[in-house]
Each structure stands twice: as structure tokens, then as C-alpha cells.
A and B are shown apart, each in its own frame.
Chain A
Amino acid sequence: MAEVPVSRGFKSKRQTSEQGRLPPGQYRTTDFPILSAGPTPDIRVADWKLALQLGGSLVRAWTWDEFEALPQTTLNTDIHCVTKWTKLDTTWQGVSFDDLLKSAGLEKPPQAFVMAHCDGGYTTSVPVEDLIAGKAMIATRFDGVPLAPAHGGPARLLVPHLYFWKSAKWLRRIRFMPEAEPGFREARGYHIHGDPWREQRYDGD
């Protein structure tokens, strides 16, 4: 590959002391941009249920009240969107994936991958490795207040160490699967794993 050309006269405006916390190709934003593939659904918690599936059968489902009664975890973390923004020091609250498994009576994850299914038909696949040991949660609050619908409320997956499309909004169903299958974005040219520190943006990165 040819040498990377220097862009004559280009100077950084966004470089900060936090540069070490920014994965390659990312810049820092202080807003909370929104990215989704379609309209924001209107979900009432009275109608909301979260289901956990294994091999086509239901392991457990939680109503909103049941879900809210599970142990709560708070996570302070940076988030990284594939569209290049990174937001530092965000605070989320919800139910850790570990606690969800416990509540479903599963001592350990039965299969190595999950597909997250959402309202509006969005799906994304995540290795179980990236969900356990406190790494991920089903988030219901951002900065202490209930998650706004545009940001995935009432409940979204939060896998902060992967690109944010893995943190599926409007989560309704988590399905275990033995192997990695592409979800919505992964089937449309995005990377199957999506590690921002290895800049796994697109298929083949």
C-alpha cells in the first residue's frame, strides 16, 4: 500500500489530554448523538417483556416489574460509535448480563454467542465472552434518569467495549446460539465483532 499522504495544512482541533482514551479514528463528542436504522418506536413498559431463548425455546421472560426488581448495577464507561464519535465518562444503570443469567437459573452460559432482537426488527450478535464478568448489561437508565426512547428506552443492551451498534436499542429478546451469525449491521458490511481498539469497523477490518 502506498504511503499515507500528509494532508497539507491539516491541523488537529480535537486532540485533547484524553487522547489515550480514544480508539483509533475516533473523536470526542460531548453531545449524545443518535443513530438508528429507522424510526424510534413507542414502547410502553406495561407491554414490555424481555425474553431469553435457547434453541428455540423460552428459558425465561421478565415483565417490566420483574425486570426492575432484579439487582441493579451501575457502570461508568466510555462509549464508541462506528460513525467516529466517542463519549467519555457516561453513567448507566441496569441489570448486568451475569445477574440476568442468574435470574434465569443458568449457572453458566449454555452457548457461546447471543443474538439480540429488538423492536423494529433490529438484531445484533455478540459473543457471550463480551457479555459476562461485568462487561455488559441491559441498561434502563442513563445519568440516573430513565433511558429516553431515542436512546433505546425503555431498555437497551450495553456492551461498551464494542462499537455502539452492538449495544442494541429497544431490546426485547436475547437468543443463545452456538456460533456467530451476522445480525442486521453485520450482514450489511459491518464487522462481526466490532472492537474499536482494533478498529474493526467493517467486514474484513
Chain B
Amino acid sequence: MTATEAPPAPNKIAWQVAQVEAVVTETSRVKSLVLQPAHWAGHRPGQHVDIRLTADDGYQAERSYSIASAPEDKLLTLTVERVDDGEVSPYLLDELRVGDPLEFRGPIGGHFVWTRGLGGPICLIAGGTGITPLMAMLRHRERSPGGIPALLLYSARSLADVVYREELDATARRDNDFRLIYALTRQQPDHWTGHRGRIDKTLLADHCFPPAQNPMFYICGPTAFVENVSSLLVDLDFNPLSIKTERFGPSGG
């Protein structure tokens, strides 16, 4: 072998301790954790962090959580839904207090990422807490020079289960380039004129930017949701390479 210079070893994404600055109740099953990292070089919308809990006997549990805040925000926001018999999420929702330390590392992931440089139009499709990384994209878009066309199709059990609803509704009211569609799967208000039931092919065909405009898709949610929506989009002749997916877990919304 020739004596070539070995490439410099990449830096390990080190564990660090953040402080919990705020815990925000979003819905009956969801809270946002606002964290102050010890040091943070920024992230790209769509990336996640790993958090790690340590019991007093030394046992550790790690889980991934998407970043919901924009790179422009100083503090890091994670949004966590309760998995009833879960090990980590009930702890984060019920036990964690303002001022507590929380070990984490990141940012992680480079595929399910959107930054303004990629342009638009973008179709963001969320199932339940799958909204989290898409919210980081929308918040980043909000802070970008205007006019990037975006659609958010958000499937939730009921209106009360929609996370960030005020913020989303406010953006939709003031921003003509942003279209917001809720699909309510289990329970709809009496006067509801929006979509009832799961996201289906017609809803996608009616609201997504047409294939001729080469929209980029970001789909996030429970595995079955992502599988279903992405295969409907392929059926509708959208380019599979324009569809990026992130799967949170086995079941849910």
C-alpha cells in the first residue's frame, strides 16, 4: 500500500447535557420540551437528536426525537407524544421538570432534510406527531425570503390532537403561499367542512402541487401511515425519488 495520508478522523457526535428551559403542554398526549444545549452548532430542518436517560442502577435508554424548532431559534424544541406503555416518552412527559439536565446528542440525519436552498414547491405530509420535523421545515421557511410554495397535509385523530394548531392557522391566514389541510380521522367538529377520515388518493390529487411542478415530498409519521401515503403518491405518478420519508414507529395516528 502507498503511504497516503489517512483522512482526519471525523468528530464523534458527542453526548452533551442540555437544560430543560420549558415544558409546554401541546395536547392531552403531547408536550414540547424546550432545551438549552451546552453548545450547538445548528441543525438542518428535518434532523433529529438522540436522547439518553440513565437510571440510578446505571441502566440507560436511548430514543430519537425530531427537532421541531428552526435552525434560527436559539433554543432546541422537541415534541413528544405519549406511548402509553412506553419506557421513555411517559418519563419525558410526566417526570421531567424545568431546570432538569437531559443528556442528548445530535444533530443526526442528512436525508430527511429541507433547507430554503432546495426551493419549492414542497408538500409536507404529517401523521400525528410526524408533524415535528415538518414543523422545523415550516418554521425555517417562515424565516426565509417569501414565496416558497408549501402545502401541509396533516392527519390527526381530532382537532384537539392537532399539535401547533394556533401557529399553523396563523401562518395559513397571513401567508398566501402556504396551504394547510387537516384530515381528521376519528372525530370532527359539527360544522367541519374539511376532510374526514384518512388521507386518500383523491385528497392527495386535489391538493398536492401537480407532478409538472416537480414538488418535493416529505412524509413523516407512524410506519403504516408513511407506507400508505408514499405508495399512493407513486400511484399518482409522482417521482419516487422526490419522496422522502421518516418513520417514527410501529403504530399510532
Contacts and interface: CB of A to CB of B under 8 A. Distances in A.
Interface of A: 1-2, 4-15, 24-25, 27, 29, 31, 33-42, 83-84, 120-121, 150, 184-185, 187-189, 201-205
Nearest to B47: A189
Nearest to A30: B250
Interface stretch (B58-66, B114-122, B127-135, B137-145): B58-66
Interface in B181-203: none
Nearest to A33: B250
Nearest to A150: B227
B67 to A, nearest CB: 14
5 contacts: A7-B55, A25-B60, A38-B240, A189-B108, A202-B12
Contacts of A24: 60
Interface of B: 9-15, 17, 50, 52-57, 59-64, 85-87, 91, 95, 100-103, 108-112, 223, 227, 230-231, 233-234, 240-241, 243-245, 247, 249-250
B250 A40 contact: no
A34 B223 contact: yes
B245 A83 contact: no
Given A39-B234, A121-B241, A5 B87 contact: no
Contacts of B86: 13
B13 A204 contact: yes
Given A7-B53, A8-B95, A10-B55, A204 B247 contact: no
Contacts of B112: 37
Given A34-B227, A39-B233, A189-B110, A1 B55 contact: no
Contact of B111 (A14, A120, A188): A188
Contact of A204 (B12, B60, B110, B241): B12
A39 B204 CA distance: 15
A29 B85 CA distance: 13
A80 B61 CA distance: 15
B241 A12 contact: no
A5 B54 contact: yes
What are the 8 A-B residue pairs with the smallest beta carbon separation, nearest first? Answer: A188-B110, A39-B230, A204-B12, A204-B10, A5-B101, A7-B53, A25-B62, A13-B87
